[in-house]
Structure 1
Amino acid sequence: MSSAPPALSTEPGPSTRRGGWTAMILVIACAAQFMVVLDVSIVNVALPGMKASLGLSPAGQQWIVNAYTLAFAGLLLLGGRAADLVGARRTFLTGLGIFTTASLACGLAGDGTTLIAARAVQGIGGALLAPATLTLIMTNFTEPRSRARAMGAWSSVNAVGGAAGAVIGGLLTEYAGWRWVFFVNLPIGIAILAAALLYVPGVPGSRGGLRRLDLPGALSVTVGLTALVYGIISTESSSWASPQVWAALGLGVLLLTAFVVIESKVAAPLVPLSVLRRRTLALANLVMIGLGSAMFAMWFLLSLYLQQVLGFSALKAGLWFLPGCLAVMVGARTSAHLVHRTGPRPLLVTGMAISTFGFLWLSRIAPGGAFTTDVAAPFVLCALGLGLAMLPVTVAATTGIERREAGLASGLVNTSRQVGGALGLAILAAVAAHTARDHAGSGAQALTAGYGQAFLFAALFTACAALGSLFLPGRPATADPGAGPGPGSGPGSGPGSGPASPGGPR
């Protein structure tokens, strides 16, 4: 083993680059990505414990999830640009430090406001960290075959991390308390930090890199999305006609309009508007928004139903999520084997059709129903459809995209998944709350009616995604291992883009 890591290059390097140093870089990148993806889903099973401990309202429970998701989604593309312009190592270490410190603040939070704020900071750290992990892989694994293997490992970590969060969250909440779903990041983060300081080489960023970051664009889209979600969530306690709701929704629309104007004016936009004129890319992102809207809410609502209606403990609820986790992985592996032979459209339509049937089945849940047939079976179908669809929608988004734009295209589709998740959770939770409030019954009956109606709306989202998928490419997609970052399989996957990616400078 050499005494220092080899210099980064965008050309295939000597055999030592496939040895100990690059192996450690892959381990570091995958471990960090696992931690980021895990935090999207690990809190779901712990939410009832947080509610009891901190006196959270139903809206407060949503913000525990959405504060992280919105910050992550809104700043994900900025994180990718930072990795390119400032340097992957610097961005990686900064994101890791913010994420780990915010995890400590989450675990120590004494009230809901502090916890929600710390979760937002966690999302900021994740938005810097996730793209940097992929940039490290793309710049250190330059030989096509080794890059394909490295990307396979990274994508597998995404799938496992996103799916296993509920199980790990249940174990930690049951035996150590809900605070440990955050404290668990501390030893992992510190170990990754120590390894990164030793093994991840530094590369100078672009001259004036910080000045070239599109901070106004990132802030306008992040705050705009947050305002929209706040307006939707506010309808649970206020009417749609209330000034509070309209002010939040109006501010959200105004800021998102400002984002479009900013992107058309700045020299280095986060999202060059020209790429959105590509019909396939734009449609794939709309499909991903519909998919994410249903799937993020599925884990949240089922966790509450299992614990608040069926009376499951956090551990039992987490373990009962395991069949769904396995179904996600089975679907992901199946689509990985088939997508380059069938093209993305058949797998997307099939996956969304399976999920739609599963959500329609879930919408029939009852307070005293049989768990295996009324919950577990349809949940597995929903998860299987998710696994089948994630890879094909990313392939569709990057089909026909030039090498230099592959990172941007893949980053957009991953951002769309997070945006869809945040908006979908707000909408479906509002549907559940309104239905429960208007239901003639009370207690478990009202809650169940609300969750059932929310799952019915989730079926509508996935059905729309299936219809949209019919217009995506149906021909087999040709894969170029060097063309770009490729697909991510997990809820937190987010690629870097720009000069550090194999496509070269834009």
Structure 2
Amino acid sequence: MSTSSYTPSIALSPCPTVVDLSINPSSADGEQQLKAVGSDSDLKKQATLPPSSASSGQRAPKREISTTRKALLLMVFCMAQFLDAFNNSSLFPPLPTIGKTFDMSEAEQQWMFSAYALTFSSFLLLSGRISDISSPKWTFITGLSIVSVMSLILGFLPNKIALIVVRALQGIGAALTIPSSLSLLVWTFPDPKSQSRAIATFSGMSAIGIVLGLLIGAAFTTQVSWQWCFWFVTCIGVPTLLASLFLIPGGIRNETDSIQGGEDASSVEAATASKKTSRGGVDFIGVSFLTSAMILFVFGLTSGPTAGWGTAQVWAPFVLSLVLLAGFLYWETRMPESDAALPPSMWFYPNFGVLFGLAILPFGWWIANFLSFTELWQSSYGLSSLETAVRFLPLVIPTGIVITLLAVFPPTNDPKRAIMVGFVLMIVSTAILPFARGLENYWRLLFPAWILGSTGDALLIVYCSVALFRTTPENRSGLTGSVLNSGLQLGVVISTAAVTGITSSVNARMPGDAFNGVSASFWFIFGWTVLEAVMVTVLYREKKEGRVQADVEQGMATPTAVATPVEKDVITSV
């Protein structure tokens, strides 16, 4: 073939819907066509880019992770959620023993939970921000290391002050693991369906951790020693830590995934540097405002049952927390969006505020049941720690079934419908609980009430999590996870303070039957549940955009590719 007859075929666009045209560079027409679309080298560079990166607004494909590795990563992330739940529930059985060992009053025993809750809820937002602007892998590993080391130390401490302080440090470690694990989970499972299943599995580990914590904590307390309730966390945390070092990819969050096609190496590097810079920094002043406000608010709630709700020890922290919260909100409006600890725009995402309010209920409902019946059965009815733990199984078995079903079958595209079903089950359940007086009513009233309530509670946790991550962008997954878990933890604090305060005050006025206070506290939980159901019914607005994407995935709609202006010019000239 002679040189004059040779016509190389140059791909004008990587888009498969545009036909590649034959251009002869040696001809006059060919030179004009090449000038219209760029030089030969530029075209070759563009042709080597992935198809999805050619059109602006689309992302290049992320690094592929094998199915086996994804399953192992999900196990690692779920273990962080399990350990967080286990850290609290495993302390219920040995708490009386720990109190006697260190001569702790009831208020000091409550601080074994409050110290953890204070630091956990206060540092969640900071850890979520760190996960979003830095490496979530190393944030997760750092948090898991702190939890494992502090748990080991807790079993050797000689006094109650040191025990409470180290519990607070343990809460900081847990706060680092939860948002970062959620951030890693969202990036590991980008497909909406698989992501929803992964979040459902992750959320369900809380219930499993709570009940296994009760059972294992009771077994250790009665058969070995209470110190193993802490050391068991280290035994699980260290292997999980080692697995995360090898399984979590260093580049799981691809910095160049939004860079557009047609850029040379220097442009790619510049875009990458620009993207890293655009993530902003840590808003230490804003975080200080919010952390101080949350600590004072939680301190006021936890002090109420012991100090009295009308004392300055309760109201002074409340007032100061409101002042600091107002200062935080004002400061955030003055900060650039990329630097703000909690960008004000987060609250304008569809249903974000409603879902945060919803997140306060599920863990609060659970902890109300555990606190009320643990104290009642062991102190008033004389059941052992192990007998008490076994009777709590109806609170976790339905949750396991719900999580399994949601992990196997695709979740619904209408989270509100599933959430409302959960509310109906919880309202019916909570209406029964105030009448479950005495052990003779366990199978007749309490058992079915817990089956219904636990199923509904699981639906709320799963679909609140799924809906919250759907409404926020992927690059804010760490911050979204911290906000979600702040709501869940806030529910624990509110429920603990309310149930403890109501039960003690009612039993003081109506002595003789300890169930009187339990019954009154569950009427409070019933009103709380109904109020949340009304809020979701009125304020939650279901999004409709997802239906188009579902149609595309099922082949009912075909996306149309549009040629770029350069491609249109070439086609017209030819």
Structure-2-length-normalised TM-score: 0.72
Equivalent pairs, count: 468
Distance in 2 (CA, whole Å) between partners of 1:57 and 1:335 is 44
Matched letter for residue 304 of structure 1: E
Give the C-alpha shift of residue 175 in structure 1: 2.0
CA distance in 2, matches of 1:481, 1:147: 15
The one of 285, 310, 313 equivalent to 2:384 is 313
Is residue 102 of structure 2 the alignment partner of residue 54 of structure 1? yes
Q: Is 1:238 matched up with 2:288?
A: no
The percentage of aligned residue pairs carrying the same residue is: 25
C-alpha spacing 1:218/1:106, structure 2 compared with 1 (3 Å): farther
**1:174/1:261 Cα in 2 relative to 1: closer, same or farther (>3 Å)?**
farther
> How far does the alpha carbon of each residue in 1:174-225 deviate from its partner, in whole angstroms, 9 at most, with x for none?
2223222211011222222333344444459997899922333334333323
Instruction: Summarize deviations over 1:286-326 as a string: whole Å, max 9, x none.
Output: 12223443333222222222222222211111111112111
SS at match of 2:361: helix
Q: 1:289 aligns with which of 331, 337, 360?
A: 360
1:229/1:430 Cα in 2 relative to 1: closer, same or farther (>3 Å)?
Answer: farther
Matched, 1:322 2:393: yes
Deviation by residue 1:313-369 (Cα, 9 ceiling, x = unmatched): 111111111121112223445667899547223322232232233223222343564
Q: 1:225 maps to which residue?
A: 294
Report the Cα distance in structure 1 between the residues aligned to 2:505 and 2:132, rounded to whole angstroms. Answer: 45
1:221 touches 1:259 (CA, 8 Å); kept in 2? yes
- Report the Cα offset of residue 167 of structure 1: 2.5
Indicate yes or no: 2:120 matched with 1:72. Answer: yes
1:139-150 maps to which residues of 2 (within 5 A)? Answer: 139-141=187-189
Counterpart in the other structure of 1:177: 225
User: Relative to 1, partners in 2 of residues 1:312 and 1:219: Cα closer, same or farther, differing over 3 Å?
Assistant: farther
Match of 1:498 in 2: none
Preserved contact between residue 422 and residue 457 of structure 2 (Cα < 8 Å): yes
Amino acid at match of 2:316: A
Q: Match of 2:541?
A: 473
Tell which deviates more after alignment, 141-150 or 384-393: 141-150
Alpha-carbon distance between aligned partners in 1 of 2:543 and 2:330, rounded to the nearest angstrom:
36
Question: CA 1:336–1:318 in structure 2 vs 1: closer, same or farther (change >3 Å)?
Answer: same
Whether the 8 Å CA contact 2:367–2:492 is kept in 1: the answer is yes
Equivalent AA in structure 1 for residue 468 of structure 2: A
Deviates more, 1:421-430 or 1:166-175: 166-175
Amino acid at match of 1:470: T
| Bigger RCO of structures 1 and 2 (CA < 8 A, at least 6 apart) | 1
Residue identity matched to 1:356: I
Measured in 2, the distance between the counterparts of 1:338 and 1:191 equals: 31
Task: Note closer, same or farther for the CA distance 1:394–1:133 as it changes in structure 2 (3 Å cut).
Answer: closer
Please, what is the CA RMSD of the aligned residues? 3.5
Q: 2:525 aligns with which of 443, 458, 471?
A: 458
| Residue 449 of structure 1, aligned match among 503, 516, 540 | 516
1:23-46 deviation per Cα after TM superposition (whole angstroms, max 9, x unaligned): 554443333333233224332333
Cα contact 1:229–1:426 (8 A) shared by 2: no
The one-character-per-residue Cα deviations of 1:158-187 (angstroms, maximum 9, x if unpaired) are 453344332332223222232222110112
Distance in 1, matches of 2:466 and 2:78, equals 21
Partner of 2:459: 388
Whether contact under 8 Å (1:40, 1:69) holds in the other structure is no
Amino acid aligned to 2:63: G
| Aligned twin of 1:434 | 505
Cα contact 2:436–2:445 (8 A) shared by 1? yes
Does the Cα contact within 8 Å between 1:11 and 1:142 map onto a contact in 2? no
Aligned partner of 2:91 in structure 1 is: 43
Indicate the residue corresponding to 1:376 in structure 2.
447
In the alignment, does 2:213 pair up with 1:165?
A: yes
Supply the distance in 2 between the matched residues of 1:159 and 1:240 (Cα, whole angstroms): 31
The aligned amino acid for 1:176 is: V
**TM superposition shift of 1:156:** 4.8
Query: Equivalences for 1:123-162 in 2 at 5 Å?
Result: 123-141=171-189, 151=199, 153-162=201-210
Change (3 A) 1:375 1:305: farther
Which residue in the other structure is 1:95 paired with?
Answer: 143
Q: Judging changes above 3 Å, is the alpha-carbon distance between structure 1 residues 92 and 403 closer, same or farther for their aligned structure 2 residues?
A: closer
User: What is the distance in 2 between the residues matched to 1:353 and 1:19?
Assistant: 37
Give 2:457's aligned amino acid: L
Structure-2 residue corresponding to 1:491: none
1:255 match: 324
* Greater mean alpha carbon deviation, residues 86-95 or residues 317-326: 86-95
Task: Check whether the contact 1:263–1:272 (CA below 8 A) recurs between aligned residues.
Answer: yes
Distance change >3 Å, CA 156–CA 436, structure 1 → 2 = closer
Give the Cα separation in 1 of the matches to 2:492 and 2:220: 24
Looking at structure 2, the residues matched to 164 and 66 of structure 1 have their Cα atoms a distance apart, in angstroms, of 21
The 8 Å contact of residues 122 and 291 in structure 2, kept in 1 or not, is answered as yes
1:343, 1:473 within 8 Å by CA — same for their partners in 2?
no
> Judging changes above 3 Å, is the alpha-carbon distance between structure 1 residues 352 and 89 closer, same or farther for their aligned structure 2 residues?
same
1 CA distance for matches of 2:467 and 2:459?
13
Give 1:118 deviation, angstroms.
1.8
Q: Which runs of 4+ in 1 moved over 6 A?
A: 143-146, 204-211, 335-339, 479-482
CA distance in 1, matches of 2:465, 2:300: 30
Letter in 2 for 1:244: Q
Cα offset, 1:125, TM superposition: 0.3
Per the alignment, in what secondary structure is the counterpart of residue 236 of structure 1? helix
23 and 451 in structure 1: CA distance in 2 versus 1, 3 angstrom threshold: closer
Gaps of 5+ in 1: 1-8, 483-506
Write the distance in 2 (CA, Å) between the matches of 1:109 and 1:34. Answer: 24
- Structure 2 segments unaligned to the other structure (5+ residues): 1-58, 256-272, 551-574
Give distance in 2, aligned partners of 1:20 and 1:402. 27
Moved more, 64-73 or 459-468: 64-73
Q: Which residue of structure 2 lines up, in the alignment, with residue 303 of structure 1?
A: 374
- Cα separation, 1, equivalents of 2:354 and 2:425: 20
Between 52-61 and 452-461, the greater mean CA deviation after superposition: 52-61
One-letter code of the match for 1:432? Answer: T
Paired amino acid for 1:302 = F
TM-score (norm 1): 0.81
Cα separation, 1, equivalents of 2:375 and 2:278: 45
Q: What is the one-letter code of the residue matched to 2:299?
A: Y
1:11 aligns with 2:61: yes
Using the alignment, how far apart are the partners of 1:27 and 1:341 within structure 2?
23
Moved more, 227-236 or 142-151: 142-151
AA aligned to 1:312 is L
- What amino acid is aligned across from residue 235 of structure 1 in structure 2? G
Helix, strand or coil: the match of 2:484?
Answer: helix
Range that drifts further, 20-29 or 186-195: 20-29
